[in-house]
Amino acid sequence: MRIGIVGCGGRMGRTLVQQVLETDGGALAGGTERPGSDLVGQDVATLVGAPPAGAAVTDDPSTLFATADAVIDFTTPAVTVENAALAARTNTILVVGTTGLDAGALARLAEAAKKTRIVQAPNMSVGVNLLFALTRRVAATLGVEYDIEIVEHHHRHKVDAPSGTALGLGRAAAEGRGVDLDAVADRARDGHTGAREDGHIGFAVLRGGDVVGDHTVMFAGPGERVELTHKASDRVIYARGAVRAALWAADKPNGLYSMTDVLGL
């Protein structure tokens, strides 16, 4: 499978390039960078110190989508929505690891997925997706006397909060309880907030240093506390999951999929 990388010159982009090179059944189709970037025209494999792969960095996404079997996108919501439309026009598999997608962006991905295969998840890590499943199961088992709090910590450069993974964990917990997350989420607390409301799901956000991503789901009940935690120490876990998703989607019908589908959870 020829796999292209959007934003191939960034930290995540280079990690994805390296992962494609190391994956059996994967080959680099090229990458994209912003117009004016010094990387445009270079062979994408050389970005990670590998021998040339015959796949260039371009500033024209349509060129990449026309030649790739699959494209992986960990960029921004606006760029991802544009790339979903390109994927639909070229029937190219699109794997989306972009965070901060709102309901409108997700709806446009779903529309594009009628004409191609799109795998979208707030987190591509195998371990985190197992955490989603466990959170759903524990929330369904424990009653509302167990307060749910989600704590996440990321590096100082992250621009969205709570993280997409934290919100995904909140949705998993809400699904386990059969409620709508928007109706029970406490995403900010400051000042005299009053007592905690029964059944609500709280979020706490930490930003600092170079933390790749730590997430904990706490179920605090009377006399005991259950905590589910995932700590990421290397971005390669996201790249590994994304490439796995691209290969998985090769023989699937058009539609919008998640890592839950990829992993059979």
Dump pLDDT digits (tens) for 97-140.
998 899 999 999 999 999 999 999 988 999 999 999 999 999 99
Which residues are known to be catalytic? 154, 158
Burial class (CB in 10 A: 0-12, 13-18, 19+), 9: buried
Structure tokens at 35: 């117009």
* CA-based nearest residue to 217, from 128, 143, 123: 128
For 12-31, the pLDDT digits (tens) are 999 999 999 999 999 999 99
Between CA 108 and CA 217 the distance in angstroms is 30
Element (H, E) at 206: strand 201-207
pTM for the structure as a whole: 0.84
